[in-house]
């Protein structure tokens, strides 16, 4: 049976077309599925196929809820500062972070560098060297001008050492007894204290000044003896060198021998 849309057989009316005449198999719209009328041609691809497994099932517990706090953020590195938080106490006190140097165990304050102590001694020595040199030169000139032997020459040199030792020892004792600072320590911002941080007593300061720089006074006294005085002077010079080396080798407090023997320590002035 033909439909109005099929091509008409151009033969006689009522005559049946020969076998095979008409549209080829599959010509025209496919049969409808599911009872839904088609609009505009074939259904979309995948229409009428079975849904994938699990489609339409109930969502697992917790699906759609807000993720926990911190979910999806990279792990925090150990020691990394939290955003917006203040640094902990003592943060940045290590060298290279712009803060003050750390206080080593057993020290009452920050320990200055070895060169800071050296510069302080150079400043003090330059001041006293000028004053003591002038006074000693005047006195030794008088003695040497009246001397008639080598003993008189040694006596003149001894006067210079004695005057310089008295000035340096008295200066060291007096200045440290005031506030623990000489002129050199004031410039370099350091201070002399006891190992527990207290102010040194007069007996301790006298003992310390006798060891250094008081050895200069001792050297001046023994120089009156021509041969023995020279030997003692050499030994005292070696002691002074070893005393200074201890500031480099004694870690972490950087105490010289005269500091160890008097239980004193040099720290940074606040």
Cα–Cα distances (Å) from 249 to 22, 244, 252, in that order, read 115, 9, 9
**How much is the pLDDT for 142?**
80
The secondary structure of 199-247 as a DSSP string is PPPHHHHHHHHHHTTTHHHHHHHHTTSHHHHHHHHHHHHHHHHHHHHHH
Sequence ranges of the domains in the chain: 114-268
Residue 222's Cβ-count burial label (10 Å; 0-12, 13-18, 19+) is middle
Number of Cβ within a 10 Å radius of residue 245:
13
**How much is the pLDDT for 85?**
42
What residues in the chain have per-residue pLDDT under 70?
A: 1-100, 147-151
**How much is the pLDDT for 133?**
84
Q: Where are the alpha helices (DSSP H) in the chain?
A: 114-146, 150-179, 183-188, 202-211, 215-222, 226-249, 257-262
Distance CA 100, CA 141 (A): 51
Contact 253, 104 (CB under 8 A): yes
236: cis peptide before it, omega within 30°?
no
The model's pLDDT over 53-92, given as tens digits with 9 standing for 90+, comes to 665 566 566 566 665 565 555 555 444 445 444 444 444 4
**How much is the pLDDT for 188?**
96
Tokens of 261: 């023997």
Residues whose CB is less than 8 angstroms from the CB of residue 186 and which lie 6 or more positions away in sequence, other chains included: none
**How much is the pLDDT for 174?**
96
């Amino acid at each position: 049976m033909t439909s109005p849309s099929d091509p008409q057989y151009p033969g006689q009316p009522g005559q049946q077309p020969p076998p095979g005449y008409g549209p080829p198999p599959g010509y025209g719209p496919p049969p409808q599925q599911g009872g839904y009328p088609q609009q505009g041609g074939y259904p979309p691809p995948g229409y009428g196929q079975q849904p994938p497994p699990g489609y339409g099932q109930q969502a697992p517990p917790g699906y759609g809820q807000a993720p926990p706090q911190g979910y999806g953020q990279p792990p925090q590195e150990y020691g990394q500062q939290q955003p917006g938080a203040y640094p902990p106490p003592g943060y940045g006190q290590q060298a290279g972070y712009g803060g003050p140097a750390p206080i080593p165990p057993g020290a009452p304050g920050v320990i200055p560098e070895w060169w800071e102590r050296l510069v302080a001694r150079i400043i003090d020595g330059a001041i006293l060297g000028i004053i003591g040199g002038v006074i000693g030169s005047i006195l030794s000139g008088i003695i040497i001008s009246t001397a008639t032997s080598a003993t008189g020459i040694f006596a003149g040199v001894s006067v210079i050492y004695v005057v310089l030792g008295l000035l340096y020892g008295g200066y060291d004792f007096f200045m440290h007894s005031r506030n623990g600072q000489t002129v050199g320590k004031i410039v370099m911002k350091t201070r002399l204290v006891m190992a527990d941080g207290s102010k040194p007593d007069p007996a301790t300061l006298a003992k310390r000044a006798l060891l250094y720089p008081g050895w200069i006074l001792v050297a001046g006294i023994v120089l009156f003896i021509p041969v023995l005085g020279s030997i003692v002077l050499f030994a005292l010079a070696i002691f002074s060198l070893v005393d200074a080396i201890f500031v480099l080798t004694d870690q972490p407090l950087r105490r010289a021998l005269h500091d160890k023997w008097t239980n004193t320590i040099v720290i940074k002035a606040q």
